Each structure stands twice: as structure tokens, then as C-alpha cells.
Structure 1
């Protein structure tokens, strides 16, 4: 492993960098951060009872987190150019540790809400930094394998989060989700203090405050609007409409300003590279499919099939684990064969699983759900990392910070949109079923209505997947060369 690291660093022109310890530092920190995210989502019902809050209030623990990411991640492109790798890594871990500690001792919702925002600050710094660092220290023809390892973390942590949180909540209070994460984050920080190295030299470009304000209003408004609509199921509510309109205007002004600046805060010239643009679209498709499914399936399992939180988490565990284990394999296959047929095959498999999910009923067996979920996660593992890596490979080095910022930002936006649309379709489907049924007193009808709502919501995922499949035929492998 050490020799591999030395070769990789040398080939990247960074002979002093020990690649393996740097990647391990990011993998450990990223895993714990993403684990606590999904683990808390499964604990919302416990939080509602123990803190005495309403469901809509509890959802702010997720919305506030996403909103913070939506505001900060677009700015990460310029942050990466102002500070060293070590400074940003240590700062992100400190934010994550402080946020996790505050959450662990939180006596009330307001304190826990503050903790979530502080945690999000750490994640908003860590994710773009991780991708940007990999682009600098790993040569293009080897990136597939390394990005696959990162993909293992990104998918495996959210997969085990619900299951482990179900086990924790079965025996302990929700505070222990954070108490268990805390020492692991501290260990990640200590490891990083010893092994994290500075990969880039800060250029400290001029900061344009107007761009930061417009970016915050634009992306923040869009993420808040879609998240709020998804949580309340109300697209016609005044706050949702105002947030989306203000966000759209802010985003339009932000894009216009960036295109007319000599040195923009976020260089949108990255979209001039066609494979990068297609990679971004594939990431958007993947995130919409994954996050819409991740919110629909637990609801279906717990409502329609009346399973416990822990049992629902166990059913969804195999797919997440297999996806995580396959990510490095898909990365290696990408290095050898390129992205096109991996992505096309992955989307075909994903489409098949979505068609299966659109036909689930009250009689669908747990085994069938596990099989369909595994197929979906296998398909996504063949799509996301290969398309993302291929797109980033086409960018010149000076656009790496902007490219990673763009991809990470649009992941958050796509996640908010996918979740909101899925919940909205689910709610309207339930409402339509109950309005047309003759026997509204039959206790079976609400379950049938909910199941039909889930079926209709998966039709949205089918449409998104088909769009992605059509686009995937235009993907071409970016030519990369081994350096002498």
C-alpha cells in the first residue's frame, strides 16, 4: 500500500504527499459524518416524543442541515483557494466534533437545532475538500478506484445508519447516536493531525460579497423551498412559493454575475466541458432516485407493512452494503473500460428496480423488497461514481475547486427536489384514493391508499431514470494519459 501511494503521488507531481494516509483521513471523517446524518433521520419519532415537539418542527433538524449545506457548499470553491488542506480538514473536523458534542448533551430542540447547523458546517467543508484533494493527488487514470473507495463511504455510511440507530434506540436514548460518533470523530481528527498534508497552495482570490449573498439567497431559497414543500406536502403554501421565487431570482442573478465577472466566485466555465456537464446530470439523476427511494421505502415498510424501525432498517441494509462493496469494483472497471457501458447498464438495472417498486402492494414480500433494493443500489453504483469521475477528469486543474463545488452543490439541490417531489406525489396519491373510495370507514383503505401513493411516487423515479438513460448514450470516455 505504501509503495502504491508513493507511485501515485509521484505520478501526480506531488512527490512529498503520502496519498494513503490522506485518503484514510477523509474516509474515516466522511463515514462518521454521513452515518450520524441518516441515523438521526430514523430517530425523528423518538425525538418528537422525548422533546415534546411537532412533526413539522422535528423536520427542521433535516431542513436546517440541508439549508446550511445549500448555502455553504457553493462558496466552498473560493474557500478551497483561500486556506490550506490541513487548515480546512482540521476546521471541518472541529465543527463536526463540536456539533456532535452539543447534540449529545442537548436538553431541548433549540440546542439540538444549533448542533445540526454546526455539524452541517463541518460537512459543507469536508465533502468538497475531499473530492478536490483526490483530483490533485491521484492521476486521472487511477481516479476510478479511489473514487470508488470514496463511494463506498458515501453509500455504506447512510446504509448502516438506519440499522445501527434502530439497534441503539432499542436499548438506549437518541443521545447515544452522537455519543457513539463523538470518539470516532476525535480519532479521525488526531489521525488527520498526524497524516494530513497540504496538497494545494492558497491563491487567495478576491472575495466578491455580492456573489456570496446572491449564492446564499439562490441556493438557500431553492433548497428551503423544496424541503419545506416535501415535509408539509404543500406546494401552494405562501412560504414555499416565496422561497422558490426568491431562490430562483437569486440564482438567476448569481449566474448572470458569474458569467460577466473576470474572476468569478464560482467559475461556471466548467460547464463548457461536455463530459463534466453530463457527469453533473448523472449525479443529479442518481441523487434524485436514491433520496426519493430512501424516503419512500422506510415509510412503506413501516406504514403499509407495519414493520418496526429496526426491521425496516435491516431490510434496507443488504442493498446499501452491496452498493458500498461494489463501489471500488466499479471504480476499477471504470479505470479499465471507461464509463459509457457501465452507466448505461446501471441505469437499465435501476429502471428495472423502479418498475418493480411501482408495483408493490400490501402482499409484497420482504424478500422481494430486499431484491429490488439490491438491484437499485447495484445500478446506482454503476452510474454515479464512473460518470462523476469521468466528468471531473475533463476539467483542467484550475477548475477543480469550482467543479467539486458545483457537483456537491447540485447534489444537495437534487436531493431536496427528489425528496420533495416524491413526498408530494405520495400525499396527493393518498388523498385521491381516499376521496374516490366508497367505504371510508374500512381500516384497510388508509393502508391501500398509502401503498398506491408510494406506487405513484415511484413513477417519478421511473421518469427520472429514463431521462438519465437517454442522456447516458452521449457519454464518452475522457482520454487521460500516464505521465512519464
Structure 2
């Protein structure tokens, strides 16, 4: 049991147990994040069952990412307007209702509606969890806290293809939602006892125009990035959506600097540490999501593996990431961010390079080992750097920093799949036009080039790590 003096305190000055509070947050976030990639390997079965096209099926994932991304920026405002306990329950209720609709759906439109309602809860719960985890731990243990955050943020999407592959191979795809629903209900019951209010509300004045700009700007940008993987970056729809989104986000940003109570406090970017760490983590997350899409394509298209077998290849890496994240958090508390992140970046770069030379005969055990080593490197990079960035902010800006951090990561996650799949598709098209041999060779060349783009991005992130200061000056922003 924790000693009284180390126990967290709610807004009424009452001590409470940190363990139950953290458990509720982690389980809730795990359930919402796993849904981002849960349907990836289930889409063929859903297409067959509901008689829909591949483009419509892809919208079950794209719409979830879009709505979730749009909701994330509003979390900072809501955390200062509504008690964190009520906000947590609102997010989980929305997610539960969406899950029920998905489980019972018999048409495509109903399933899409359920995914949208799920995404509303998911978009709120992710930054909420990160903010509360920072505030419930003392500064000297925030690395440990973010290590736990890393378990769910990185481990959830990594394990989803394995779970999904097993279920859709042996059961109906609706069991993906049937299994999740009772866990959601149990977690809400636990939250009734363990969730406490720890944020003093400032109740800022609502700026509806900022909400509109944020929603339309981010929604347009995410839509453009999402469809780019299917229709190409040169397509007019892609270009118009991305450009429109960027222009509206610029207008939104200019408005925030003029407001006395901004909807989203962009002053956090005055912190060099926060800015650099956010960009680096987003790039790494981008390559992680992209790789999780590319490897199943390789194993199923080139090696003729089943969805379950493809998922099992990713499973050891997911386990490694889940184990190393809390360890790297404690190492951050002991040694700071610079040493840990540089070691992690070197491991990540070294384990990514061999993927540039995949062949049809590449041994499966070799792929599993390399992927696991990549995840080891990511575990040493993502959460320590995220912790360093948020640690550089004052407590009143943590909710804004978490919202911005998660928003950028969401954009880069979509960008990662669009860029890497786009590189693969463009290479396949170029080689297929001038090649009359086995169709597998253009596919392999496309995969190799896609991993080359990941290696280049990792190299850029490695260079940026050189500019991260250690130890972190927590008062940096207020200088």
C-alpha cells in the first residue's frame, strides 16, 4: 500500500489509491485504441458478409480515424470545463453505445454509424488518459507513468491484428465487438469506485468559431491523407482536401494567438523540447503504423499466410514493446531522455534497414526477430521523448500539450500508412508497366521501397534527437 504522503490528492484534498485510478484509465484507453486497427484483417470478411466494395469497407477504418482525430483537440477545452470523472464516463458510454451498434449491425450504414460513435469516445479518452496520468504522478515518476501509457498507446494497435486475425478465422467478425463490450462495462463499474476528480476547472469561455475551424481543418486534412493511399497524391480530391485543411488550420492557429482564453493553447510550441519531442514521436509512430500495414501485405500476398498467421508474426514485437515501455520509463526517470532516445533510435534504424531487402524466401523467424528488435527500439524512444516534451510544460498547459501531442500523432499515423502504401503502389505501377515476369517481383520492389521511406524518416528523427536537451528544464516554457 502507498504511504499517505505519496498518495495523489483529488480536488477536495482527499487522498486516494493511485493503482485503481491508473488501472481504470489504462483499460479504458486500451479498449478504445485497439479499435483503431481491429478491423484491418477483418475487412475481407465484412465485405463478403455485407456485400460492400473495398472502398466502402476502408471507410470503417478511415471514418474512425477521422472522427477520433477531430475530437482530440476538443479534449483540452472539455477537461477545463467538465470534471474529468464525468468526461471519462461520457467517453466510455459513447464508446459502449457504438460497440453495441457495431455488434448488432446487419447493414453497412449501421456498422459505419457504430464506428463513428465509438470514435467520439476514443478521441476523448486518449488525451484524457495522458493528461491524468501526468497529474496523478509526481514529476520525478512521470517517466514511469508514461511508460505505462506507452503500453496501451503502442501495444494496443500492435496486438489488434493478431486478435482480429484469430477471431475472423474461427468466428463471425461481430465477435470483435461482443468480446470488447463486457470489458467496457466492467471498466465503467470500476471507474465508479476508483475514478476521482483531480483537475480544478477554469471553465474557459467557449469559442464556437474555433471549434468549427478545428473540426473542418483537421477533418479535411485527415480525409485528404486517408484517401491519398487509394487514389494517389496527385488526385484533385486529395490535393483540395489537404490544402483546404492546412489553410483552415493556419486560420485556426492565428485565431488562438489572438484569444485571451484560446480553445487550444498553442503557446506550448514555445518550448523547444516539447516541439522537437512531439515531432520525433510522431515520425516514429508514423513508421510503426505504416510497418504494421506493410508486413501483413507481405506475409499474405507474398508468402500466402492467413490473417491469423500474419497477426502472429507481429505478436512477439507487440509483447516486446509492452514489456519495454514501462522499463524505458523508469530508465528515463534515472538517466534522462538523451541517452535513452539515442540508444533506441540506433536500435530502430539498425533493425529497419534489413527490411529494404525482403525477398520471397526471407525466413519467417528472421522477420519476427527484426520486427521485435524494431519494437524494442521504439520502446526506448516514444514514451521517454513524449515524457520529456510534456515535462517541459507547466501543469496548467499539460492538457493542451497532451491534446496537441495526440492530434499530431493521429495525423502522422494516417500520413504513415498513406505515404508508405503510396510508395509501394507507385513502385508496383512503375515496374508492372515495364515488366513481364512474375507479378510478385513488382510487389516485393514496392515493399522494399516503402520500407526505404520508413528508414529515411527514422534517420531524420535520429538527427532531430541530437537537439533534445537532457536533463529537462521543467520551467523552460515560462522563461
Give the structure 2 partner of residue 429 of structure 1. 427
Give the structure 2 partner of residue 177 of structure 1. 176
Give the stretch that moved more between structures: 174-183 or 164-173.
164-173
Give the stretch that moved more between structures: 339-348 or 31-40.
31-40
> Within 2, Cα distance between the matches of 1:235 and 1:116?
26
> Within 1, Cα distance between the matches of 2:246 and 2:103?
37
1:465 to 437, 458, 463: 458
Give the structure 2 partner of residue 455 of structure 1. 448
2:472 to 466, 474, 478: 478
Q: How far is the alpha carbon of 1:284 from its aligned partner?
A: 1.1
> Within 1, Cα distance between the matches of 2:11 and 2:314?
39
Give the stretch that moved more between structures: 255-264 or 138-147.
255-264
> Within 1, Cα distance between the matches of 2:429 and 2:85?
52
> Within 1, Cα distance between the matches of 2:372 and 2:11?
36
Tell me, yes or no, if structure 1 residue 267 matches structure 2 residue 261: no
Deviations 1:361-385 (A, max 9, x none): 1111101110110111011111100
Give the structure 1 partner of residue 155 of structure 2. 156
User: Which runs of structure 2 are paired with 1:206-355 in the superposition (5 Å)?
Assistant: 206-230=205-229, 232-355=230-353
Give the stretch that moved more between structures: 352-361 or 51-60.
352-361
> Within 2, Cα distance between the matches of 1:238 and 1:480?
45
Q: Quick one: structure 1 residues 174 and 4, their matched pair in 2 at CA, closer, same or farther if it must change by over 3 Å?
A: farther
Q: Quick one: structure 1 residues 404 and 4, their matched pair in 2 at CA, closer, same or farther if it must change by over 3 Å?
A: farther
> Within 2, Cα distance between the matches of 1:307 and 1:472?
37
Give the structure 2 partner of residue 367 of structure 1. 365
> Within 2, Cα distance between the matches of 1:367 and 1:14?
54
User: After TM superposition, where is structure 1 displaced by more than 4 Å over at least 4 residues in a row?
Assistant: 10-15
> Within 2, Cα distance between the matches of 1:189 and 1:6?
28
- Does structure 2 conserve the Cα–Cα contact (< 8 Å) formed by 1:322 and 1:378? yes
- Does structure 2 conserve the Cα–Cα contact (< 8 Å) formed by 1:5 and 1:18? no
Deviations 1:380-405 (A, max 9, x none): 11110000001101101111111011
Give the structure 2 partner of residue 378 of structure 1. 376
- Does structure 2 conserve the Cα–Cα contact (< 8 Å) formed by 1:151 and 1:324? yes
Tell me, yes or no, if structure 1 residue 140 matches structure 2 residue 139: yes
- Does structure 1 conserve the Cα–Cα contact (< 8 Å) formed by 2:41 and 2:161? yes
Deviations 1:289-346 (A, max 9, x none): 1011111111111111111110010111000111111111001100100111111111
> Within 1, Cα distance between the matches of 2:325 and 2:292?
18
Q: How far is the alpha carbon of 1:135 from its aligned partner?
A: 1.9
Q: How far is the alpha carbon of 1:263 from its aligned partner?
A: 1.8
Give the structure 1 partner of residue 40 of structure 2. 41
TM-score by length of 2: 0.96
What secondary structure is seen at the aligned counterpart in 1 of 2:172? coil
Q: How far is the alpha carbon of 1:37 from its aligned partner?
A: 3.0
- Does structure 2 conserve the Cα–Cα contact (< 8 Å) formed by 1:12 and 1:136? no
> Within 2, Cα distance between the matches of 1:119 and 1:21?
24
Q: How far is the alpha carbon of 1:17 from its aligned partner?
A: 3.5
> Within 1, Cα distance between the matches of 2:474 and 2:143?
12
Q: Quick one: structure 1 residues 275 and 8, their matched pair in 2 at CA, closer, same or farther if it must change by over 3 Å?
A: farther
Deviations 1:403-444 (A, max 9, x none): 01100100110111111111110101101111121x2xx4xx
> Within 1, Cα distance between the matches of 2:355 and 2:13?
48
Aligned residues: 474
Q: How far is the alpha carbon of 1:152 from its aligned partner?
A: 1.2
User: Which runs of structure 2 are paired with 1:32-71 in the superposition (5 Å)?
Assistant: 32-71=31-70
> Within 2, Cα distance between the matches of 1:57 and 1:36?
18
Q: Quick one: structure 1 residues 480 and 218, their matched pair in 2 at CA, closer, same or farther if it must change by over 3 Å?
A: closer
The alignment yields a C-alpha RMSD, in angstroms, of 1.7
> Within 2, Cα distance between the matches of 1:383 and 1:14?
36
- Does structure 1 conserve the Cα–Cα contact (< 8 Å) formed by 2:11 and 2:197? no
> Within 1, Cα distance between the matches of 2:11 and 2:326?
20
In structure 1, list runs of 5 or more residues that go unmatched.
none
- Does structure 1 conserve the Cα–Cα contact (< 8 Å) formed by 2:11 and 2:200? no
